[in-house]
A and B are shown apart, each in its own frame.
Chain A
Amino acid sequence: VEWSGECLRSCRREVQIKVEEKEDETEESSSEEEEEVEDKLPRRESLRPKRKRTRDVINEDDPEPEPEDEETRKAREKERRRRLKRGAEAKKFVSENEGALGKGKGKRWFAFKMMMAKKWAKFLRDFENFKAACVPWENKIKAIESQFGSSVASYFLFLRWMYGVNMVLFILTFSLIMLPEYLWGLPYGSLPRKTVPRAEEASAANFGVLYDFNGLAQYSVLFYGYYDNKRTIGWMNFRLPLSYFLVGIMCIGYSFLVVLKAMTKNIGDDGGGDDNTFNFSWKVFTSWDYLIGNPETADNKFNSITMNFKEAITEEKAAQVEENVHLIRFLRFLANFFVFLTLGGSGYLIFWAVKRSQEFAQQDPDTLGWWEKNEMNMVMSLLGMFCPTLFDLFAELEDYHPLIALKWLLGRIFALLLGNLYVFILALMDEINNKIEEEKLVKANITLWEANMIKAYNASFSENSTGPPFFVHPADVPRGPCWETMVGQEFVRLTVSDVLTTYVTILIGDFLRACFVRFCNYCWCWDLEYGYPSYTEFDISGNVLALIFNQGMIWMGSFFAPSLPGINILRLHTSMYFQCWAVMCCNVPEARVFKASRSNNFYLGMLLLILFLSTMPVLYMIVSLPPSFDCGPFSGKNRMFEVIGETLEHDFPSWMAKILRQLSNPGLVIAVILVMVLAIYYLNATAKGQKAANLDLKKKMKMLQLLVASNKYPESPEKVHFALLFKSNAICERPENKH
């Protein structure tokens, strides 16, 4: 402040001088004017001291004034203008910083501004601290990273990211669908769709029934069927059907956005595909993982680096031995054939299990054992557990480089899980169609039933003309099969059984095995820890794929079961703690440490694919299947999306509805689609062009480096060669590169 005060003081002095100069000039100009005026008016005694303008007084002693040519006059004008400008700037500076100078009326305002700026900076820093502290599980992940390296920790980072996405989905569905219905919707028991049917009432609260998400759980805000189709509810006139539809669409849109954002963030890290140019350099400079903080892991890392180097050296040294290409090709073909067989077999098994579960659904539930009830989910989970080991076995035939083998394995597991999912959906569609057929029958039956009831009722009151109004308890009304709730239930059951299977697998496969190896080692013939079975390694790819597919199921099911994101949040939360514990307690770091870097985008790519494939069935169901007539927020409509049209008609002014109707004109839609296709083509071409330009620049940089290098050795023949090459290149002709 003192220093700035000095500066300002000297500034002010300058300003004073300039201001005086400026005043001089104004005075001069004004006196010029006055003199002209003087000729016309009688002279007045002016109190201002008369100053001679030395410029105009011509004295004989003075040297002849040089003839004023254009240049000097212009220079003088310029000088004068510059001085004027400087004076104005200085005045402005002083007036603005009066407060900083500690004088004048701006002082308090300036001090206040400074204090607010400091407080704001402190607030921003505290907020950043708070945001960093809010990120959960940081210490856990750090512990895992230091013991297992960055690739295992990448699974947990992925889990945490998914947790964040699911949290947003949960907040959307909870606050905009479940909460309004719970607060302002009609309570349980007031409508047929909200009441457990009379036949099931007795067992509605049993644990077995609730675990299956039947009974009371089915007739609650957890599922689609509970919601009423009234256009507005509550004192706020909350439009529930519209909100249900829009939230469903928004969840899908948000998921797409967030996955694409994560993918584009990772693209920049790729750095262009120079895979083999810097093989050894990268091995030397980027193989040590600085995150490692555990001596055992460090040991493993040292060993794997040594192994890596030795392999690379042998590859470098060994000449290309002519292997028996035909044998290898045959073996690979055989392996792929087996894999196809496995995939086909698993698909058929699931289809068969779904068909059987439909048969079981028609039987009396009490005659079925636990296995029959959960058969389909068990079959899917077991297939997901055992087929990857089969694939691993088949991969032994193929004899690929381990990294390539890993990619093949991931691809096959992905195909397996995808196939399973789609067979499941096909079976589900089958069942939905059955239910829609059934619905038509039930509708016909209900009208008959109602007519009978009214007749019977009127008959019983034929003597008494005044009787209580016709009333049927909601539990007694015959119900249509609500296919949407059925779909929601299937997905919820699948998720729950998946969770249980995973946890049981971890407990048995990892924990019990570790206990066995640890404690029975003392009394066993061979060393259990180094030989078979030893401790399990953490299977990163298997776990990531399981996570991705579970998320796909959530995306598919959350339109029909708004509670699904909430259930998933619980699941991810417990998974985090459980798996962190299991990893630290029962697993050992991988002996062969693979780089997880490129795989991050690979996993996100799979997630995007699953997202796309999961939303397709949902959108198909929304657009082409008629909603049930007696359950859910869209009951009574022809198609679910008609709720938008209804809202436009009732809630928006008529001119808006007209405009939107014009916008959905097919001609306009086709034009928009054409424009989008053209835009995609143009952007693609631009990207390709830029990539090519990039490669070109890289090549030129290399040549330039070589040229500079060859300049050091003037006798080198390469110099002339490179110089010629360079000259022939267009880069030299550009004016900025001439030097």
Chain B
Amino acid sequence: GQQANSLHTRAAGSVSGLHIFHKEGDHEDLAPQLVPLDYTTCPDVKVPYELIGSMPELKDNPFRQRIAQVFSEDGDGHMTLDNFLDMFSVMSEMAPRDLKAYYAFKIYDFNNDDYICAWDLEQTVTKLTRGELSAEEVSLVCEKVLDEADGDHDGRLSLEDFQNMILRAPDFLSTFHIRI
């Protein structure tokens, strides 16, 4: 919790002012009747998930629902302006690696139990291949992943295992990135 907070403030500092400015404009465009132009009175406005999921940056992403759930306040996919900005600041080019790894872990943890278990892996692989792999192939892939990345051999990936594995990946930064 504390670590996430500090990582969070670091990320917020690393996003340039222009990005935030641009994204505020986008947020209004999504739902002009919902989002007021003036935020100084801190109104409590939430953009529903359906609108977020149909944004051009996210509509083709198989993990868009998980992304919206992870960054929304109550985990239901409806986001306030703060959540919206958080999402784009984490997914931007300038966010630090460990912050991205932390949020990637949360996105791939479908059942929100702070561990990526075999069921989470199966969900991920199925979403990635749109169900084209047979059940046997999916389970083989999940086994291999646990074999490779599970450092403490408890049958599921903890945050440390995941970070240890993902921070060495050469493509992680370039693929886990949404350009604004």
- Bound pair: A and B? yes
A residues at B contact (CB < 8 Å): 125-126, 128-129, 132-133, 141-142, 145-146, 150, 269-272, 274, 277-295, 297-298, 302, 305-306, 309-310, 313, 316-317, 595-598, 702, 705-706, 708-709, 712
Residues of B within 8 A of A141 (CB): 179
B125 smallest CB distance to A (angstroms): 6
Which candidate, B27-35, B38-46, B128-136, is the interface stretch facing chain A? B128-136
B137 touches A281 (CB 8 A): no
Listed A/B pairs (13) with beta-carbon separation below 8 Å: A132-B19, A133-B18, A141-B179, A146-B56, A280-B148, A281-B166, A302-B132, A306-B130, A306-B133, A313-B141, A702-B151, A709-B152, A709-B153
User: A310 near B137 (CB under 8 angstroms)?
Assistant: yes
Q: Does B113 contact A (CB under 8 A)?
A: no
Q: Which of A291, A598, A705 has the largest count of B CB atoms less than 10 A from its CB?
A: A291
The docked-state distance in angstroms from the alpha carbon of A420 to that of B88 is 47
- Residue ranges of B at the interface with A (Cβ–Cβ < 8 Å): 16-19, 21, 56-57, 59-63, 91, 104, 108, 121, 124-125, 128-130, 132-133, 137, 140-141, 144-145, 148-149, 151-154, 165-179
The answer to whether B17 and A125 touch across the interface, beta carbons within 8 angstroms, is: yes
Contact A598 B170 (CB under 8 A): yes
Bound complex: CA A292 to CA B62 (Å): 11
Taking a contact as CB atoms under 8 Å apart, the answer to whether A306 and B173 are in contact is no
B126 to chain A, nearest CB (A): 11
Contact, CB under 8 Å: A128 / B168:
no
CB contacts (< 8 Å) of B149 on chain A: these are: 278, 281
- The A interface is mostly helix, strand or loop, or mixed, namely helix
- Give Cα distance in the complex from A316 to B137, angstroms: 11
User: What are the residues of chain A within 8 A of B61 when measuring CB–CB?
Assistant: 288, 290, 292, 298
Contacts of B133 in A (CB 8 A): 306, 309-310
Indicate if the CB atoms of B174 and A596 lie closer than 8 Å: yes
Having A274-B168, A309-B128, one finds 14 other A-B pairs with CB under 8 Å, namely A132-B16, A132-B18, A146-B57, A271-B167, A285-B165, A286-B176, A288-B128, A291-B177, A292-B60, A293-B56, A302-B130, A309-B141, A702-B151, A709-B152
Q: Which 8 A-B pairs have the closest CB atoms?
A: A298-B60, A132-B18, A280-B144, A271-B168, A129-B18, A709-B152, A125-B17, A306-B129
Q: Inside 8 A of B130's CB, which chain A residues have their CB?
A: 302, 306
Q: Is the CB of B18 within 8 A of A285?
A: no
Do A288 and B175 touch across chains, with their CB atoms under 8 A apart? yes
Q: In the complex the two chains form, is B145's CB within 8 Å of A280's CB? A: yes
Q: For residue A139, which residue of chain B has the nearest CB? A: B179
A315 to B166, CA, bound (A): 23
- A279:B16 contact, CB within 8 angstroms: no
Residues of A within 8 A of B176 (CB): 286, 290
Beta-carbon contact of B60 and A295 below 8 Å: yes
Q: How far is the CA of A286 from the CA of B165 in the complex (A)?
A: 11
Return chain A residues, CB-CB under 8 Å to B121: 284
- Check B170–A271 contact: CB distance below 8 A: yes
Which residues on A sit within 8 Å (CB–CB) of B108?
285
Cβ contact within 8 Å between B128 and A284: yes
Chain A residue nearest to B167 in the complex (CB): A271
A306 in contact with B132 given A280-B141, A287-B175 (CB within 8 Å):
yes
Q: Would A142 and B63 be within 8 Å (CB), given that A306-B133, A709-B152 are in contact? A: no
Closest to B125 in A: A284
Nearest residue (CB) in B for A292 is B60
Q: Which residues of A contact B148 (CB under 8 A)?
A: 277-281
User: A596–B169 Cα gap in the complex (Å)?
Assistant: 13
Question: Which of B152, B169, B179 is close to A142, meaning CB atoms less than 8 Å apart?
Answer: B179
Q: Nearest B residue to A150 by beta-carbon distance?
A: B174
Q: Which residue of A lies closest to B116 (CB)?
A: A285
- When C-beta atoms are compared, the residue in chain B nearest to A271 turns out to be B168
Q: Which residues of B are found within 8 Å of A142, using beta-carbon distances?
A: 179
Q: How far is the CB of B96 from chain A (nearest CB, A)?
A: 12
Chain B neighbourhood of A305, CB < 8 A: 128-129
How many angstroms between the C-alpha atoms of A142 and B57 in the bound complex? 10
> Which residue of chain A lies nearest to B91 when distances are taken between CB atoms in the complex?
A290
B54 to chain A, nearest CB (A): 12
Cβ–Cβ contact A705 & B175, under 8 A: no
Measured between C-beta atoms, what is the minimum distance from A287 to chain B in Å?
Answer: 7
CA distance A306 to B169 in the complex (A): 20
Shortest Cβ gap from A452 to chain B (Å): 72
The interface residues of chain A lying within 8 Å CB-to-CB of B170 are: 269-271, 595, 597-598
A585–B163 alpha-carbon span in the complex (Å)? 41
Do A316 and B171 touch (CB < 8 A)?
no
A130 CB, nearest partner CB in chain B, Å = 8
Tell which of A274, A288, A297 has the most Cβ of chain B within 10 Å. A288
Q: How far is the CA of A712 from the CA of B152 in the complex (A)?
A: 10
Residues of B within 8 A of A270 (CB): 170
Alpha-carbon distance A278/B164, docked complex (angstroms): 10
B124, B130, B168, B172, most chain A CB atoms within 10 A: B168
Residues of chain B with a CB closer than 8 A to A279's CB: 144, 148
CB distance from A640 to the nearest CB of B (A): 45
Minimum CB–CB distance from B57 to chain A (whole Å) comes to 6
B141 x A271 contact (CB < 8 A): no
* Other-chain residue from A272, A597, A702, A712 in contact with B174 (beta carbon distance below 8 A): A597
What residue of chain A has the Cβ atom nearest to residue B137's Cβ?
A313
From the candidates B17, B152, B166, B177, name the one contacting A290 in the complex (CB within 8 A): B177
Q: Which residue of chain B lies nearest to A294 when distances are taken between CB atoms in the complex?
A: B60
B17 near A281 with CB under 8 A, answer no
How far is it, in angstroms, between the C-alpha of A310 and the C-alpha of B129 when the chains are bound? 10
Q: A129-B21, A709-B152 are in contact. Are A286 and B128 (CB under 8 A)?
A: no
Tell whether, in the assembled complex, residue B60 and residue A309 are in contact, meaning their CB atoms are under 8 Å apart. Answer: no
A150 partner residues in chain B, CB cutoff 8 A: 174-175
* Contact yes or no, B91 A705, CB < 8 A: no
Inter-chain CA distance A667–B177, complex, in Å, is 55
A293 close to B18 (CB less than 8 A): no
Kindly report which residue of chain A lies nearest to residue B170, judged by CB atoms.
A597
| Chain A residues, Cβ within 8 Å of B21 | 129
Q: Is the CB of B178 within 8 A of A278?
A: no
* Chain B nearest CB, measured from A643 CB (Å): 45
Q: How far, in Å, is B137 (CB) from chain A's closest CB?
A: 6
Q: How far is the CA of A287 from the CA of B121 in the complex (A)?
A: 14
A286 touches B166 (CB 8 A): yes
How far, in whole Å, are A286 and B128 apart by their CA atoms in the complex?
A: 11
In the complex, which of the residues B59, B63, B174, B178 has the most CB atoms of chain A within 10 Å of its own CB atom? Answer: B174
Name which residue of chain A comes closest to B57, CB basis.
A293
* B169 close to A278 (CB less than 8 A): yes
| CA gap between A88 and B132 in the complex, in Å | 76
Residues of A within 8 A of B173 (CB): 269
Task: Kindly state the separation between the CA atoms of A310 and B170 in the bound complex, as whole angstroms.
Answer: 22
CB closest residue in chain A, given B56: A293
